[in-house]
């Protein structure tokens, strides 16, 4: 059996102090997460989630529709707060 590959993604409602998420945004995010997936909240007010690689292209389009900002994490992203 082939195991799923996941992409770690930072998700938030945009850059700004006190950014907030709407229920619709959280519901959309939940559709791409496995039931036992951990969600990490960072000090930069981002949610770090693991999205299945095969669903990533579709997830990006859906995130755009509901106003979620997303960034690949790891060596791809540097956090900045002004």
Count up the domains in the chain and report the number: 1
pTM: 0.78
Q: Which of 53, 55, 48 is nearest to 77 (CA)?
A: 48
Q: Which domain holds residue 17?
A: 8-72
Sign of CA dihedral 65, 24, 53, 16: positive
pLDDT in tens, 3-40: 789 999 999 876 665 668 889 999 999 999 988 888 99
Q: Hey, how many other C-beta atoms are within 10 angstroms of the C-beta on 8?
A: 15
The mean predicted confidence, pLDDT, of the chain is: 83
User: How far is 41 from 58, CA to CA, in rounded Å?
Assistant: 23
Within-domain flag for 80:
no
CATH number for the domain spanning 40: value is 3.30.70
Residue 8 or residue 80, greater confidence: 8
Within-domain flag for 51:
yes
Question: Rounded mean pLDDT of 43-65?
Answer: 91
pLDDT of residue 81: 60
Within-domain flag for 68:
yes
Q: Which of 4, 18, 10 is nearest to 70 (CA)?
A: 10
């Amino acid at each position: 059996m082939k195991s799923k590959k996941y992409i770690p993604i930072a998700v938030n409602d945009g850059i700004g102090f006190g950014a907030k998420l709407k229920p619709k945004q959280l519901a959309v995010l939940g559709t791409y997460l496995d039931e036992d997936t951990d969600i990490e909240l960072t000090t930069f007010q981002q949610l770090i989630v693991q999205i299945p690689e095969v669903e990533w292209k579709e997830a990006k389009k859906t995130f755009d529709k509901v106003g979620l900002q997303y960034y690949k994490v790891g060596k791809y992203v540097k956090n900045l707060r002004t």
